[in-house]
Amino acid sequence: MDNNPLPVFYIDARRSLYLGRNRAPLREIHSGNSWFTVCLQGQLRFQANGHDEWITAKSILASAGTKITVDNRDAVSCVFYLDETKPDFAALKSLMQPTPSGLYCHHSHEESLAEQLRDLRDQEPDFDTALACLDELIYGPLGDRRHDFKADPRIEHVVQRIRETSAENMSVKQLAKEVNMSESGLIKLFRKNVGAPIRKHRLWCRLINFITFVMAGKSIPEATTLAGFSDASHLSKCYSSLMGVPISVAFARTPTIKCFIADEKLTRAEQMDPKSERLPTDPREYFARLAMSKAS
């Protein structure tokens, strides 16, 4: 088995963390979730939709729904996908410089963050340890900055409900009823707090579930249906738009990434019809087993 280390991706609907080891072919990103990136090596440049100016930076913060084009040159990056039910975005924003396009860059501790993230990547801790480290990187060792920011409890409820029902098309009317708001009022409040429309954030949650189903051993068609995508074309379009890379890059025929997902979520996904057996975290182990089975 090839022992060259692979990038690692800790995946969850609450927060996710991608830790790169090589240049990724990023392009236009229109995410359904707020995200923060730090270069572990080199710099990248970015251009917001509707703005001609390119800005060079080692760190970028973008709210959900922001359209951004990234030229990562030879940079190696990590990406935090933030929790919309927590004040992650506000906490990071307070330590960054605003740009005319509404994005933020130049985190005041980006060099220290990059060093800690390189160490985290090389240690490859378990899922819970990595997510605890991510919380500390956002809020500080004691979490003392968390109380400086407040999330709207109505939005917390709606985001949680979207996560729980993302494969369904729960109506805005039903969501609004649950938080005692009008449909138009919820739409405006959600856009103000999250940045993306409810529909786009639901697609983001479906994408996280799709990856979870694949890692739980479901076939790509099975995972596509279980996650709530209408077909492969719909999945491919959403993956490219929300992640910034084609789906073929992540799910190629050769190993490209190690995925860590909470054990209880994988167990639950395994038990869904059709039942399946989870894939190994390191895809090279799967390909080695496949080669051995074909040889026999």
Which pLDDT tens digit goes with each residue over 131-189? 999 999 998 875 666 667 777 899 999 999 999 999 998 999 999 999 999 999 999 99
Q: Specify the DSSP element, H or E, that contains 180.
A: none
What pLDDT, on a 0 to 100 scale, did the predictor assign at position 252? Answer: 61
- Whether the per-residue pLDDT at 125 is higher than 70: the answer is yes
Q: Does 93 have pLDDT greater than 50? A: yes
- Position 1 scores a pLDDT of 47
64-80: pLDDT as tens digits = 988 899 888 789 999 99
Confidence band for 44, pLDDT divided at 50, 70 and 90: very high
Nearest-angstrom CA–CA distance, 153 and 167: 23
Round to whole Å and give the CA distance between 238 and 108: 33
CA proximity to 58, closest of 76, 39, 79: 39
**Which pTM does this prediction carry?**
0.90
pLDDT of 101 strictly over 70? yes
What is the overall mean pLDDT for the chain? 88
In total, the chain counts a number of residues equal to 296
